[in-house]
């Protein structure tokens, strides 16, 4: 809850870190262990009530990471409920008849563990890390609050005040207005255009009844994927799951209704957002991709490698053309695959004194050149080698692996899709990568967001104000 | 993955660099290590020492080292020299300029980067063990023959100016910087690690070279290694890597901050939520006091269960975030905290936070709170030790804070021995409300 909002635009850190790394890349990739003495590879099974459980063994240290991913996010809210998925996430810590309020926190704390929860457009995630012996207790408590949550009015009121504070903390930062402007242009009336935190107005309407309605409508085993990483085997987890998660009633049939992307961008748009807490111009150009489910797996893999080649690290085109040339302090590319539509984004932060037009023209030139001619064979070979060589770091970090697997399954990939990623990258050719990359870069439906210091704004523009121009 | 390529300056990073001066969060300090490979002390034929945790499951080597004496060693008229020495560490060496060096490392999945703190310059290196020979050859080149080319020097300068500029408009940046000035007065710690606009305007690669020759040496070097390498291989490697460095560093004594009387400042900024930071300095606690102080801080500030969370956030609904922590440097430490609250509640939130801290220090915790906190500290043993990179970071922390090699093995017993009286007396040293400095940034009514 302390970082309850998983929201890539709200923290200034991303806006001026050297490589402007996106905080949420829905699909980051990992590989099969390469060594004989490594633990068994990740595996999954499904309980009779529809709950999927994935086990990611790692026996180096006697700890476990336990994550419950609900395929429930702000995208599942009705128009008058914006922010309730996140509000409910806070209230999920308020206890059940069996495990009263504070019990969960105390168990995690006494075990020396850590826990948190995040809500994004696509998913709500509850996660804990604990010494191994605490696993069954955690599973029992998570299973219990999947169906037995109690919300009293007093807790609902306190938590509404806390969520409001969280909203105000976000509102201090340029990320929130920048998100509204750019996501509005990209996604139109789709809930992706809203922010998971909600608005000042919507938060004021929150109460116990509203949260409970949302809980009853969505929370059930078939909407959840549990990922358990660390010092356990699938057999261990099967035994524990029989005593815990398997006892949760399956609930009514899955009420998830697909949210169609109705009014996405149809042409190139440019959105300027002035803000007093910005010291340097920040530009992000986003291209719409199909949803993770709708995109052929090979294309998604190729697009990921494409964004890596164009925008990751010092050898990349963007770094060389913008940072080394003295125009920007950072530049990056990221692919975000999601349940209903994804984005490929390239972004860069100007150095002080570099005019917006100069940086934007340079970014344009680089992307136009790639759209016309593609990436070349030398950079393809070098960057592919680099990408494959660094996969060993994923093996070293079970927390990241569990997180990546959970997010990937939420957006519609299978476990095999995730585990086969490295192999698919190995088999990609330059032509594969250029085919998908160039097609997207030549797609006219782009949104360019430009975040500028308030004092560079045209007269009359306010921090909240935005100007939208359309061009082709 | 590859975090060593990332130089960012988030609020916490900034707070860490401004207030924690080489410290490590207490939550990461581990305990009973029976399931982890033992800590080995490796001494090379040439006399260079390192701590090693050998772990063969993943084919990676995480190799960290640091030179005591970071930004605090900057000459007064060249603030930022240490920052450049850290930034330029991986920007070209020998015949390879930045791009050539990066390309060579990239291809084999290896990388390294320098990071400058107030108390030291840290280098974080990792490589797949399959490619260690070439990776270490490139590291050796960076240690012995850095290039300090003009392009990366100017890029580092621009990056420093950009981050100073961003600090100036960021609420957290403004708050932490002002608090650092109030706490550390005329000492180097009051200024940004990157230097000031004035010093950045005049600093040259010659200044960076001079700094490096003074501070990069074998007697202030600490080496910490974890992963797929054994003691014999490491021992030979140490002499090879560091042979080119001078035997002795020329370190100047760094000023210890004075203790000022309690003072509050409000800085006006049009914000939806006010940011408040507070802190005071104190003489460095000894090993036992330090553990007792960690128990105290755990009771006070653990998320969800700490007193501050329960009272100021849950009972009163005054804040979204509230926390307190220790920042430990070489010779002294800082007890500090922060909160975020609505403008009309921030004064009350600060008063209540300080009052709860004082109450806990004066009255002491309940026996149950002590047991819970000790259980939490013991249990959190492995949470910070799950990757090669975390393991080597822990070893480096042990070296920097002069902990015995048995620290991990004995941690459990040491925590178990902490009594309620230990916590009381440590908290009396830690909490000095009469010296508390505080800064709020937000709408001033």
pLDDT in tens, B175-201: 999 999 999 988 899 999 999 999 999
> B37-242: which CATH number, 3.40.50.1390, 3.30.830.10, 3.40.50.970, 3.90.650.10?
3.30.830.10
Q: Does the structure show a pLDDT above 50 at B27?
A: no
From A236-245, B5-14, B390-399, the region with the lowest mean pLDDT: B5-14
pLDDT in tens, A303-337: 999 999 999 988 899 999 999 999 999 999 999 99
pLDDT in tens, A142-196: 999 999 999 999 999 999 999 998 999 888 889 999 999 999 999 988 999 999 9
Looking up tokens 């997010």 gives: A407
- The model's pTM: 0.86
* A130 contacts in chain B (CB < 8 Å): 379
Instruction: Give residue A5's pLDDT band: very low, low, confident or very high (50, 70, 90).
Output: very low
Q: Any long-range contacts for A376-384 (C-beta under 8 Å, 24+ apart)?
A: A377/A430, A379/A309, A379/A315, A379/A317, A380/A309, A380/A430, A380/A433, A382/A315, A382/B103, A382/B106, A382/B107, A383/A305, A383/A308, A383/A309, A383/A312, A383/A315, A383/A316, A383/B106, A384/A305, A384/A309, A384/A425, A384/A428
Asked if B320 reaches chain A (Cβ–Cβ under 8 Å), the answer is: yes
Architecture of the domain spanning B263-442: 2-Layer Sandwich (3.30)
The dihedral of CA A240, A242, A247, A253: what is its sign? Answer: positive
pLDDT higher at A6 or B69 = B69
Q: In this predicted structure, what is the pLDDT of residue A265?
A: 65
pLDDT in tens, A396-405: 889 999 999 9
Q: Helices B287-301 and B407-416: crossing angle, nearest 10°?
A: 70
B275 vs B271: CA distance, rounded Å: 9
Nearest Cα neighbor of A172 from B165, B318, B320, B161 is B320
A226 and A54 Cβ atoms separated by less than 8 Å: yes
B95 vs B90: CA distance, rounded Å: 13
Tell the burial category of A16 from Cβ atoms under 10 Å away from its Cβ (0-12, 13-18, 19+): buried
Q: Any long-range contacts for B233-239 (C-beta under 8 Å, 24+ apart)?
A: B234/B42, B234/B50, B234/B52, B235/B42, B235/B43, B235/B44, B235/B45, B236/B44, B237/B136, B238/B42, B238/B44, B238/B46, B238/B48, B238/B50, B239/B44, B239/B45, B239/B46, B239/B48
Q: Helices B367-379 and B287-301: crossing angle, nearest 10°?
A: 100
Nearest Cα neighbor of A402 from A68, A36, A45 is A68
Task: Provide the number of CB pairs (under 8 Å) joining chain A to chain B.
Answer: 226
B437 vs B190: CA distance, rounded Å: 13
Among partner residues B55, B169, B273, which is closest to A60 by beta-carbon distance? B55
Which residues, other chains included, contact B276 with Cβ-Cβ below 8 Å and sequence gap of 6+?
A: B175, B338, B339, B340, B341, B346, B349, B350, B438, B439, B440, B441
Q: In this predicted structure, what is the pLDDT of residue A405?
A: 97
Torsion of CA A435, A441, A445, A448, to 10 degrees: 160
* A2 contacts in chain B (CB < 8 Å): 303, 321
Asked if A106 reaches chain B (Cβ–Cβ under 8 Å), the answer is: yes
Looking up tokens 């090979």 gives: A298
Give the sheet arrangement for strand B60-68, strand by strand: B39-43, B49-54, B221-227, B60-68, B120-128, B111-116
Among partner residues A18, A105, A166, which is closest to B159 by beta-carbon distance? A18
Specify whether the backbone of A354 is left (phi greater than 0), alpha (psi in -120 to 50) or beta.
beta
Which residues, other chains included, contact B254 with Cβ-Cβ below 8 Å and sequence gap of 6+?
A: B72, B73, B187, B188, B330, B331
Centroid of chain to Cα B165:
23
Kindly report the number of other CB atoms within 10 A of residue B410's CB atom: 16
Q: Does the structure show a pLDDT above 50 at B372?
A: yes
A223 and A254 Cβ atoms separated by less than 8 Å: yes
B282 and B432 Cβ atoms separated by less than 8 Å: yes
B370 and B298 Cβ atoms separated by less than 8 Å: no
B151 vs B148: CA distance, rounded Å: 9
- The whole-chain average pLDDT of chain B stands at 89
Residue A387 vs residues A8, A31, A374, B76, B388: alpha-carbon distances, Å: 23, 12, 19, 43, 20
B170 and A17 Cβ atoms separated by less than 8 Å: no
3-state secondary structure of B50: strand
Torsion of CA A194, A197, A201, A206, to 10 degrees: 120
Kindly report the number of other CB atoms within 10 A of residue A308's CB atom: 22
Q: What radius of gyration do chain B's Cα atoms show?
A: 22
Q: Does the structure show a pLDDT above 90 at A14?
A: no
End-to-end CA distance of chain A: 43
Specify whether the backbone of A313 is left (phi greater than 0), alpha (psi in -120 to 50) or beta.
left
A286 vs A446: CA distance, rounded Å: 6
Q: In this predicted structure, what is the pLDDT of residue A12?
A: 24
B251 vs B255: CA distance, rounded Å: 12
* A278 contacts in chain B (CB < 8 Å): 169
pLDDT in tens, B395-424: 999 999 889 999 988 888 999 999 999 999
pLDDT higher at A246 or A8 = A246
A90 vs A94: CA distance, rounded Å: 8
Nearest Cα neighbor of A216 from A245, A251, A258 is A251
Residue A67 vs residues A1, A142, B110, B199: alpha-carbon distances, Å: 14, 10, 31, 48
Which residues, other chains included, contact B441 with Cβ-Cβ below 8 Å and sequence gap of 6+?
A: B171, B172, B174, B175, B266, B267, B269, B271, B274, B275, B276
What residue in A sits closest to B131 (Cα-Cα)?
Answer: A389
Q: Where are the domains of chain B?
A: 37-242, 263-442
Nearest Cα neighbor of B410 from B39, B49, B54 is B39
3-state secondary structure of A6: coil
B72 vs B79: CA distance, rounded Å: 9
End-to-end CA distance of chain B: 46
From A104-108, B204-208, B421-425, the region with the lowest mean pLDDT: A104-108
Determine the residue among A4, A86, A126, A386 to mutate to test chain B binding: the one whose Cβ has the most chain B Cβ atoms within 10 Å. A386
Q: In this predicted structure, what is the pLDDT of residue B341?
A: 92
The dihedral of CA B105, B109, B113, B119: what is its sign? Answer: negative
Q: In this predicted structure, what is the pLDDT of residue A60?
A: 84
Instruction: Give residue A263's pLDDT band: very low, low, confident or very high (50, 70, 90).
Output: low
Structure tokens at B210: 């001079």
Structure tokens at A408: 């990937």
pLDDT in tens, A20-46: 222 222 232 322 233 334 568 999 999
Q: Which domains does chain A have, with CATH numbers?
A: 35-247 (3.30.830.10), 268-471 (3.30.830.10)
pLDDT in tens, B230-272: 999 999 999 999 999 999 999 998 777 777 889 999 999 999 8
| DSSP secondary structure letter of residue B309 | I
* B162 contacts in chain A (CB < 8 Å): 16, 279-280, 329, 349, 351-352
What residue in A sits closest to B130 (Cα-Cα)?
Answer: A389
Q: In this predicted structure, what is the pLDDT of residue A15?
A: 26
Structure tokens at A391: 């996969």
Q: DSSP assignment of B151-205, as one string?
A: HHHHHHHHHHHHHHHHHHH-HHHHHHHHHHHHHHTTSGGGS-TT--HHHHHH--H
Q: How many C-alpha atoms does B417 have within 13 Å on its Cβ side?
A: 10
Which residues, other chains included, contact A392 with Cβ-Cβ below 8 Å and sequence gap of 6+?
A: A31, A34, B58, B59, B60, B109, B128
Q: DSSP assignment of A270-325, as one string?
A: EEEEEETT--S-EEEEEEEE--TTTS-HHHHHHHHHHHHHHHSSTTSHHIIIIITT
Asked if B60 reaches chain A (Cβ–Cβ under 8 Å), the answer is: yes
Instruction: Give residue B113's pLDDT band: very low, low, confident or very high (50, 70, 90).
Output: very high
- The whole-chain average pLDDT of chain A stands at 86
Looking at the complex, report in whole angstroms how far the Cα of residue B390 sits from the nearest Cα belonging to chain A: 10
Which residues, other chains included, contact A357 with Cβ-Cβ below 8 Å and sequence gap of 6+?
A: none
Centroid of chain to Cα B364:
29
pLDDT higher at B186 or A256 = B186
Residue B314 vs residues A157, B307, B410: alpha-carbon distances, Å: 11, 10, 36
Residue A113 vs residues A128, A241, B311, B384, B412: alpha-carbon distances, Å: 7, 21, 21, 11, 16
| CB atoms A110 and B372 under 8 Å | yes
| DSSP secondary structure letter of residue B147 | -
Provide mean pLDDT across the span A200-222.
Answer: 96
pLDDT in tens, B145-157: 999 999 999 999 9
Bridge partners for B4 per DSSP = none
| DSSP secondary structure letter of residue A40 | P
Most confident of the following: A165-169, B53-57, B201-205? B201-205
* B382 contacts in chain A (CB < 8 Å): 61-63, 131
| CB atoms B6 and A168 under 8 Å | no
What residue in A sits closest to B169 (Cα-Cα)?
Answer: A277
3-state secondary structure of B123: strand
* A453 contacts in chain B (CB < 8 Å): 169
* A331 contacts in chain B (CB < 8 Å): none
């Amino acid at each position: 809850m302390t970082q309850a909002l998983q929201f890539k635009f709200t923290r200034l850190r991303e806006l001026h870190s050297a490589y402007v790394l996106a905080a949420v890349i829905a699909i980051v990739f990992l590989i099969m262990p390469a060594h004989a003495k490594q633990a068994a590879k990740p595996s999954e099974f499904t309980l009779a009530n529809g709950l999927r459980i994935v086990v990611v063994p790692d026996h180096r240290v006697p700890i476990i990471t336990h994550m419950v991913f609900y395929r429930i996010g702000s995208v599942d809210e009705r128009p008058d409920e914006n922010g309730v998925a996140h509000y409910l996430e806070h209230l999920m810590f308020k206890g059940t008849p069996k495990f009263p309020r504070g019990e969960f926190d105390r168990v995690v704390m006494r075990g020396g563990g850590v826990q948190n929860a995040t809500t994004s457009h696509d998913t709500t995630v509850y996660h804990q890390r604990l010494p191994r012996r605490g696993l069954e207790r955690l599973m029992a408590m998570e299973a219990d609050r999947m169906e037995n949550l109690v919300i009293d009015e007093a807790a609902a009121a306190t938590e509404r005040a806390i969520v409001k504070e969280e909203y105000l903390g976000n509102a201090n930062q340029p990320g929130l207005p920048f998100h509204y402007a750019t996501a509005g242009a990209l996604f139109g009336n789709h809930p992706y255009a809203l922010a998971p935190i909600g608005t000042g107005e919507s938060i004021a309407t929150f109460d116990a009844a509203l949260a409970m309605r949302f809980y009853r409508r969505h929370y059930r085993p078939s909407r959840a994927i549990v990922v358990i990483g660390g010092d356990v085997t699938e057999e261990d987890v099967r035994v524990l799951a029989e005593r815990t998660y398997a006892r949760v009633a399956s609930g009514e049939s899955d009420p998830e209704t697909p949210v169609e992307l109705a009014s996405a961008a149809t042409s190139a748009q440019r959105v300027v957002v002035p803000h007093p807490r910005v010291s340097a111009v920040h530009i992000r150009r986003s291209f719409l991709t199909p949803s993770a489910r709708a995109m052929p797996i090979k294309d998604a893999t190729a697009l990921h490698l494409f964004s890596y080649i164009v925008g990751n690290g010092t050898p990349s085109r963007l770094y060389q053309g913008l940072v080394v040339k003295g125009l920007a302090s950072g530049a990056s590319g990221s692919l975000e695959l999601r349940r209903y539509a994804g984005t490929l984004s390239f972004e860069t932060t100007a150095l002080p004194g570099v005019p917006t037009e100069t940086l934007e023209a340079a970014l344009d030139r680089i992307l136009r050149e790639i759209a016309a001619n593609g990436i070349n064979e030398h950079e393809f070979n070098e960057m592919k080698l680099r990408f494959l060589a660094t996969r060993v770091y994923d093996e070293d970090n079970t927390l990241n692996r569990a997180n990546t697997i959970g997010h990937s399954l939420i957006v519609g990939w299978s476990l095999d899709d995730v585990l086969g990623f490295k192999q698919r990258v190995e088999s990609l050719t330059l032509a594969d990568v250029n085919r998908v990359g160039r097609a997207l870069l030549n797609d006219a439906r782009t949104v360019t967001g430009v975040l500028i210091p308030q004092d560079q704004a045209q007269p009359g523009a306010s921090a909240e104000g935005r100007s939208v121009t359309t061009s082709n | 993955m590859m975090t060593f390529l990332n130089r960012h300056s988030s609020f916490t990073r900034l707070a860490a660099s401004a207030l924690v001066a080489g410290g490590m969060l207490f939550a990461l300090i581990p305990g009973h290590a029976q399931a982890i490979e033992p800590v080995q002390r490796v001494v090379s034929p040439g006399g260079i020492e390192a701590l090693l945790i050998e772990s063969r499951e993943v084919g990676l080597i995480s190799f960290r080292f640091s030179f005591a004496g970071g930004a605090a060693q900057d000459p007064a008229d060249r603030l930022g020299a240490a920052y450049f020495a850290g930034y330029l560490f991986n920007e070209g060496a020998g015949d390879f300029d930045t791009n050539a060096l990066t390309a060579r490392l990239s291809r084999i999945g290896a990388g390294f980067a320098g990071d400058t703190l107030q108390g030291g310059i840290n280098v974080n290196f990792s490589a797949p063990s399959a490619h260690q020979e070439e990776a270490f050859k490139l590291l050796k080149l960076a240690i012995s023959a850095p290039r300090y080319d003009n392009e990366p020097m100017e890029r580092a300068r621009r990056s420093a100016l950009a981050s100073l500029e961003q600090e100036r408009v960021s609420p957290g940046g403004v708050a932490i910087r002002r608090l650092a000035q109030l706490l550390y007065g005329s000492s180097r710690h009051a200024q940004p690690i990157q230097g000031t606009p004035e010093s950045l305007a005049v600093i040259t690669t010659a200044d960076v070279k001079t700094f490096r020759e003074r501070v990069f040496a074998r007697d202030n070097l600490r080496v910490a290694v974890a992963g797929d390498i054994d003691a014999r291989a490491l021992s030979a490697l140490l002499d090879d890597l560091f042979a080119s460095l001078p035997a002795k560093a020329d370190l100047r004594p760094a000023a210890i901050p004075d203790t000022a009387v309690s003072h509050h400042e409000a800085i006006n900024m049009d914000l939806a939520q006010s940011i408040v930071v507070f802190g005071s300095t104190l003489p460095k606690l000894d090993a036992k006091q330090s553990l007792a102080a960690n128990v105290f801080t755990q009771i006070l500030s653990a998320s969800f269960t700490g007193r501050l969370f329960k009272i100021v956030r849950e009972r009163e609904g005054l804040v979204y975030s509230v926390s307190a922590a220790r920042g430990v440097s070489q010779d002294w430490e800082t007890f500090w905290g922060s909160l975020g609250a609505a403008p009309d509640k921030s004064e009350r939130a600060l008063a209540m936070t300080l009052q709860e801290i004082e109450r806990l220090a004066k009255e002491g915790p309940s026996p149950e709170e002590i047991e819970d906190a000790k259980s939490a500290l013991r249990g959190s043993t492995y949470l910070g030790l799950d990757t090669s990179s975390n393991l080597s970071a822990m070893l480096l922390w042990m070296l920097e804070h002069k902990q015995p090699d048995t620290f991990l093995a004995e941690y459990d017993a040491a925590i178990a021995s902490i009594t309620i009286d230990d916590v009381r007396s440590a908290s009396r040293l830690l909490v000095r409300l009469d010296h508390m400095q505080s800064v709020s940034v937000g709408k001033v009514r």
